Chains A and B, each alone.
Chain A
Amino acid sequence: MGNFNLKVDKFINIFIEQNGYVKVVEGLKNTLLIAVIGLIIGIVIGTLIATVRVIPKYKVLPRILNGFCSFYVGLFRGTPMVVQLLVFYYVMLPIIGVKMTGVNVSILVFGLNSGAYISEIMRSGILSVDHGQMEAGRAVGLSFGTTMMKIVIPQAVKNILPTLGNEFIALIKETSVVSFVGAADLYVAFNYIGSNSYEFMVPYLVMAIIYIVIVLLISGGIKIMERSLRKSDRRH
């Protein structure tokens, strides 16, 4: 194993003495930033789309909105994330003439993309809540939107939390493609260390471990959240 020790030494040398850790911390920050803010944007968009899709459709406006939402979901689920990133960064931005950093573009695209997926998750959650809850809210004079926000969606979120956790984990892992648009994430950081030492084994191993640790932490957090949300189901 002398060979492996040598590789570890090389890695530690670059990681500490040549400020490799700065890159790693930066990469970690970007990875988390993209995933977390992407998820928040996704939840907002997803909830809005899901709500639109369960509105009763007697009138024209809900129908138009529904058509638009179907189109949006189809578009973002029908193309790979990498393609969306590339199209957004190299096609859309030049056309509308706006300058954005790779990280910001990634956040936006991750939000839009996960919005499409979360909308379907949220819709299934809303449908899982007994219709009587909506009726009871409407019967006391609350509007559709208010009942949705105060009664139905909190219960829906409780039901979909495990799936939502899945989506978050998937997002974290998918951030490894943002280097396509020049955002420095974990992969870029370890790739930098690897190419500086001509030695990729240890850096990529450490990268994998970091990903696993993040995901395990998130799973734990979700479990705690679920327990606190489930308190209304518990019998004393």
Chain B
Amino acid sequence: MIDVINLKKKFGDTEVLKGIDVTINKGDIVVVIGPSGSGKSTFLRCLNCMEDPTGGQIIFNGVDIADMRVDINVHRRHMGMVFQHFNLFNNKTVLQNIMLAPVYLRCQDLRKAKKKNFFLKISNVFRKKDARKEPVPINTTPAKIKEEAKAEALELLRKIGLEDKANVYPSTLSGGQKQRVAIVRSLAMKPDVILFDEPTSALDPEMVGEVLDLMKALAKEGMTMIIVTHEMGFAKEVATNVLFIDDGQILESAPPAEFFANPKNPRLKEFLSKVLV
């Protein structure tokens, strides 16, 4: 589903990513680990062009999204992202946080479809009878979109047990609750893949569990996930593939059993000996 080919990123003169090649298939759960400053977060942020890559290609669903001419907003709808610091919209309630993007974007699509139909109607006047084009079927209204999105959002909140928090502002939630809402917010767009940028690093230790549990549940449902994390236990348990990034390169890529039991790269051996106690 995602093919990363020779991905490079420079910040000024510092080369952070020095050519990364990796293929991620549907249903994969790829965990990315590495020391701090190794470029793993940058790699993840390049995947949805949060940072524009300076070289290489990212083929997502058949389109090279690293190309600056591509409308990245369209592709980001299919790529959820969860941040270290949650980044819930502070001026919106929990429910609005989840509903905002689906409602806005679906309404936008509706407006575009209506506009297209309108011009089609005009241009059809000048076409021969058998050459006339069919208008795009429109079977929804903004109110209906909103209603559906609200139902979906409430259903998602019910799933994480926070439906009673639907109408409060994020400032009243705990860190773990915020992160779960953030995950649900990206789920509301029904993405093909979700990118997690150290989702548990800013949490109190006792809240890490609830977030990891939700991620495990997602993994069970077959969601494709790419996760940058320091939770080795989680990587061992859930990942289908573990990547070790250091100095802007992938030094090792293996299924977790092999990755942790039998590391080949000396740099990874050293890293694991420090991390795994």
Enumerate chain A interface residues (CB-CB to B < 8 A): 58, 130, 132-133, 135-143, 146, 150-151, 154-155, 158, 231-236
6 nearest interchain CB pairs?
A141-B77, A136-B87, A132-B87, A140-B101, A139-B81, A232-B169
Majority SS at the chain A contact face: helix
A–B complex contacts, Cβ < 8 Å, 19 sampled: A136-B88, A137-B89, A137-B101, A138-B76, A139-B76, A139-B79, A139-B186, A140-B80, A140-B186, A141-B76, A142-B73, A142-B100, A151-B91, A158-B91, A231-B169, A232-B90, A232-B91, A232-B170, A236-B172
B48 at the A/B interface (Cβ < 8 Å)? yes
Question: A155 to chain B: which residues have CB within 8 Å?
Answer: 90-91
Chain A residue nearest to B45 (CB atoms) is A135
Shortest distance between the CB of A127 and any CB in chain B (Å): 16
Contact between chains at A141 and B168 (CB < 8 Å): no
Check A235/B172 contact, CB under 8 A, given A141-B189, A142-B101: yes
Does chain A have a CB within 8 A of B40? no
**Interface band, chain B:** 20 to 34
B: which residues have CB within 8 A of A? 48, 50, 52, 73-74, 76-77, 79-81, 83, 85-92, 100-101, 104-105, 168-172, 182, 185-186, 189
B49 nearest in chain A by CB position: A138
The interface residues of chain A lying within 8 Å CB-to-CB of B73 are 138, 141-143
- Whole-angstrom CA separation of A136 from B182 in the bound complex: 9
Could you say which residues of chain A place their CB within 8 Å of the CB of B169? 231-234
Given contacts A231-B169, A232-B171, A234-B171, contact A141 B101 (CB under 8 A): yes
Q: Which of B50, B91, B104, B172 contacts A139 (CB 8 A)?
A: B50
Across the interface, which residues of B come within 8 angstroms of A235, CB to CB?
Answer: 171-172
Q: Which residues of B contact A154 (CB under 8 A)?
A: 91
List residues of chain B with CB within 8 A of the CB of A143: 73
A232, B168: Cα distance in complex, Å: 8
- Kindly report which residue of chain A lies nearest to residue B98, judged by CB atoms: A140
